[in-house]
Amino acid sequence: MTNEPRSDVPAMLASGLVLGVILVLLAAIYSSFIVIQPGNVGVVFNRWSGALKTVGQGVAWRVPWVTQVQSYPIALRTYTMVRRSQEGAVQGDDSIDLPTKEGQHIRQDISVTYNTSQEKAADVFRAFRGADIADIESTFVRRTIITTAQNAAGQMSLTDLISNQRGQLQGQIQDDLQGQMNKMGFVVDKVNLGASHLPDAIEKQMQQKMAAQQQAQQAEYELQRQQTLAKAKVAEAEGDAQATLVKAKAQAEANKLLQQSLTALLIQNKAIERWNGTLPQFTGGGAVPFLNLKDLGGGSGEGGSTAPGQ
């Protein structure tokens, strides 16, 4: 009876050993594959040989404790640094401090869209020792964006940074950043400059300058408007004078033609056409106006009647 408990010990040890082996086999089977998500490329690294190879999306097989698989995004992703705390990669004011050629500083929102080159995914793994893309972003990508932007902005004036040369700054940052990140296996798709945040003193100076420029533009516009109105009035006066001159010349020409065409007989005929047949009622020895009895009668007075009352 005393030997029965001792006989159960080897059986329990054997059962535990079998269970451990089963668990190890299950862990080995589970860790022998990994799923590469869509939009990513996988890099398989052999710890024994140091060999690297890339695999596409889907299931990637590996030897447990011998090979390592790391995935990197080939789909576009955006790293953002802005002042608004809920939008950037880092909470709080994460906008970049940009120096200007004059030694002034502004805060600048920026976002960079990039991806991993599928052909250089193994180079990314090698350069960053198999680090995850989130770790690479928080170190290399972030530092490279800040340094490149500051170097480009330091060659420009404050006015250029926030006005007419803003597009040139964005293009310069994109070109320089593309060169730096391409060396490490990344491709820059787009750099976008967001809002510029000026110090309060500079913001006040800029507002005063803009107000003065607007006032100058308004004064220039008003001057041009007055000049235009004056020119219009001069043109109107010249037109009226020209019209009056033309009218006067036409009237003079008409009077001249009328004077040349008038004769004594024509004048008398016009008077006869207007006469209503009533003789003037007056006494005196003068002749009746506009009437030439000889012309009307056609004779020397024979058979002619005399004026009433004679």
**pLDDT tens for each residue of 250-288:** 777 777 776 766 666 666 666 676 766 666 665 555 555
Percentage of the chain exceeding pLDDT 70: 72
pLDDT, position 93: 81
pLDDT of 306 over the 70 cut: no
pLDDT of 112 over the 90 cut: yes
pLDDT of 133 over the 80 cut: yes
87 falls in which pLDDT band (50, 70, 90)? Answer: low
What does the alpha-carbon distance between residue 102 and residue 158 come to, in Å, rounded to a whole number?
7
**pLDDT tens for each residue of 33-71:** 788 999 999 999 988 888 888 898 888 877 777 888 899
Percentage of the chain exceeding pLDDT 90: 34
